[in-house]
A and B are shown apart, each in its own frame.
Chain A
């Protein structure tokens, strides 16, 4: 289980989006059936799932407890059936007594630990080996049942539940080995029983592994959903109160001027940060990483500050993760360039334009710009930082980057990245449109009234 978890986490450990960003609630089949009406029920059911072992696992434990008694009854009946051939009946009864004692003990006080099941396995194996003392060798060679019969299988299943398929196979191997030692010359029964034991331990263990990993995925999805609900709640409060107040302070204070204006600017700064923090764009993106795609909007959010504005569409701008990381690095390089060369009061805009078969990222600054003739020279000298960090990256991605300078000053870097994930399948938008639409309450049109 632990291995599976860390494996699932490898692909998106760098995701800056939501907490964990592993599974979007929509992509996990189970959550919609659970009560999500309010935060408290989410929290309660999450707790119930997290605290308890998976229902399949609990069922298996009960089955083991019942099976142990049935196996004991079968062993007693089998011994009774052939009590004439048993050489040392008293010893056989004593062995069965030990098995009965253990069965009773773990029924009264179940202990689901490796240690308890190791003891049970040892008792079972000892009982198998003790058959050698109870029976005559000829009887054993003739194919007689062991004294504990199928009783040790309970320990095999126990290990499978505790430790998955590896535990089940290991325990079954120990039982099989003892059986072979006991018979000395393997009978067909010994071989068949051992194979069945191995199959049983392996299969049950595998099922338990599956149950546990799906349980972990479910718990993670519920945790994310609870986190999202909580964040939505906070965002509403912040929108309705704090942001309004901060914006108001900023507005009034800038009217007053002087010291008040400085305080107002601080309030304005906090308002901007908070608004970005609670903006909900990335919530829908939680877990797009599952498909290996990343939303450029989320990946580029960190470039925004007082002087840099990220301009993006309402829908996710998805690129394969590796490609998106390269694009982000190229944008960062271009913005570094703006900071170094465009002047202190320059502002910059980063526009994301998803045209379907290609994604265009435009970085424009309001700075001094570059005299037309000197642009190539600057590129050649690497002064614009475009030669390797931008042009090189874009070339690697099969895209292009152009640098232009406007007549009014300012430099524009336009990067075009072919989007192979959508090339030739413009219908992908169809695919995710209905559910997006369902979420929107707003109307989809108007009459273009322009009269006044």
Chain B
């Protein structure tokens, strides 16, 4: 998949980079250092780096950065598990998944567990920096590939009956489905806005709603999951 070209932080440079604080988690020293250096060179503040899942959780909880740049395949915990642990601990840090793998299920799991965006490592440096800015601003970094996965997930949930009766999983509106399909066929927000005669901001709102619905499963399950995985939520080290 070549998803790198249309991650679409078309806005998001509103926050000056020097005020964006980042933690980088990657088990490859080469990558970790390069990403941290790129961020530092571009004026971001790199608070810490981590080389496995547990230290990623611990350092993110300790420093509470604006953005956690998270490799999907860390030793110890998967990307989804790191996201779940941070969500369960109510850490407000936004998470950008950066991965060498195009593995579908992993990416979807991480996004469902709270990651705000996903970028393959083959993305260019500028694109990466823009994605970190967008993530810090709370804008989903959405590739066509990820949109396809998200669309598939809503289809699956709907076909499976929409969750348990007491806490149904929300369905997408027709307009949201339409926008998701546009994103999944490589259209930028601007193009979508032009096609649907909507404002750019409205399209962005729709996309954020889609993410919100995807992640709006209950917290109890998440906390229980984190406990089962032996993640101590009380004690950030």
Contacts and interface: CB of A to CB of B under 8 A. Distances in A.
A251 B148 contact: no
Interface stretch (B43-51, B55-63, B119-127, B198-206): B119-127
Interface stretch (A20-28, A95-103, A188-196, A272-280): A272-280
A440 interface: yes
Given A239-B101, A443-B80, A449 B147 contact: no
Interface string B209-229: 000100111110110011000
A275 B73 CA distance: 14
Contacts of A51: none
Interface string A268-291: 100110011001110000000000
B159 A314 contact: no
Contact of B215 (A408, A426, A442, A448): A448
Interface in A401-443: 406-408, 412, 426, 428-430, 433, 440-443
A218 to B, nearest CB: 29
Given A239-B100, A447-B218, A275 B148 contact: no
A213 interface: no
Contact of A275 (B100, B159, B195, B221): B100
Given A281-B104, A407-B194, A430-B161, A446 B112 contact: yes
Contacts of B212: 448, 450
Contacts of A349: 144, 184-186
A407 B197 CA distance: 10
B28 interface: yes
Nearest to B101: A239
A93 interface: no
Interface string B137-161: 0100000110111011101101111
A275 B66 CA distance: 30
B181 interface: yes
Contacts of B181: 351, 353, 362
Interface in A227-259: 239-240, 243-245, 247-248, 250-252, 254-255
A442 B80 contact: yes
Contacts, number: 209
B215 A271 contact: no
B51 to A, nearest CB: 13
A445 interface: yes
Given A247-B122, A276-B1, A311 B113 contact: no
Which of B66, B184, B185, B217 neighbours the largest number of chain A CB atoms within 10 Å of its CB?
B185
B221 A445 contact: yes
Prevailing SS type, chain A contact patch: mixed
B114 A446 contact: yes
Interface in A318-356: 347, 349, 351-356
Interface in B82-127: 83-84, 87, 90, 92, 94, 100-106, 108-110, 112-114, 120-122, 124-125
Contacts of B218: 445, 447
A451 B92 contact: yes
Interface residues of B, number: 71
B193 to A, nearest CB: 10
A313 B113 contact: no
Contact of A247 (B100, B106, B186): B100
B213 to A, nearest CB: 8
A251 B195 CA distance: 34
B199 to A, nearest CB: 15
B144 A406 contact: no
A387 interface: no
Nearest to A356: B159
Nearest to A311: B148
Given A309-B2, A444-B221, A408 B152 contact: no
A255 B128 CA distance: 13
Interface in A37-84: none
Given A280-B103, A351-B181, A356 B155 contact: yes
B112 A445 contact: yes
Nearest to A441: B78
A400 interface: no
A11 interface: no
A239 B195 contact: no
Given A407-B194, A446-B87, A355 B155 contact: yes
Given A309-B144, A442-B78, A446-B222, A356 B31 contact: no
Contacts of A113: none
Contact of A364 (B1, B122, B187): B187
B138 A443 contact: no
A366 interface: yes
B30 interface: yes
B156 A449 contact: no
Given A309-B2, A347-B186, A449-B87, A442 B122 contact: no
Contact of A442 (B109, B158, B216): B109
B100 A244 contact: yes
B191 interface: yes
5 contacts: A254-B124, A254-B125, A315-B152, A443-B226, A449-B90
Given A272-B122, A313-B151, A449-B114, 11 more contacts: A240-B73, A244-B100, A251-B122, A275-B102, A279-B104, A351-B148, A429-B160, A443-B80, A446-B219, A447-B218, A449-B92
Instruction: Kindly list the 7 A-B residue pairs having the minimum CB-CB distance in the complex, ordered from nearest.
Output: A313-B152, A445-B217, A442-B109, A311-B148, A442-B80, A364-B185, A429-B159
